[in-house]
Amino acid sequence: MITLVHTGLQVPTDRIRVTRLDQVDLGYGIAWSAVLCDGPTLLGHLTDDGRGAPTTFRAATAEAQRVVDTFAARCRAPDGAGLATEAVAGFLTDEYDYACEVAETEAAGRYLIRSVDAHGIPHSHALTRTRPPDYTGALAAAGPVPFTARTVRAEMWMGPDRGWVEIFRAPGT
C-alpha cells in the first residue's frame, strides 16, 4: 500500500487520482466537481453538491466503475479502516487540493499551515518563506500563528521529506 502524503489515505496504486478540481462557494458550503483518472485514462467525474449529500461518482464506462469500486474496496483510511467509495473520492479530491495549495504557497515564497476547527472545517494560513527553505526555522516561527479559539489542530507542511508536522493541538483533543 502507498500512503498519500497530504491525506494519509492508503491506496493500492497512486495511478488513480484526481487530475482537475473545480469549486464554487455557495455561501453554505463548497460545491465541487473533479476529474478522476487512472494514469491518462478518464474514469469519470466526482461531484459534491456542497449541502452535505454524499460525493457521487459518474463513471465514464462500466469498466471504469468496476476499476473504481475495486480500487476503493482496497483503500484504507489513515487509521487503517475500510472506506466507502464516496469517502475515498473525498480523500482523493482533498489530496489533489492540498497538493495544489502546497505548490501555490511555495511558488509564492510562503510556508503553508493547515488547521481544522471543531466542526472539521479546514483553514489555511501562510508564513513568509526564506530562500532556501528553512523548515526548521519556520517551525520555530509558527508558534505565534493566531489560531481561532475553535481551532483543534494545526499542521505545517515541512517539505516532501517530512510531510505535515503537527504544530498545535487543543487540550483534550
116-164 tens-digit pLDDT: 888 887 888 877 766 666 777 777 766 666 677 788 998 988 888 888 9
At 133 the pLDDT is 66
End-to-end CA distance of the chain: give it in Å, rounded: 29
Average pLDDT across the chain, whole number: 88
At 92 the pLDDT is 96
Question: Which residue is associated with the grid cell 473533479?
Answer: 34
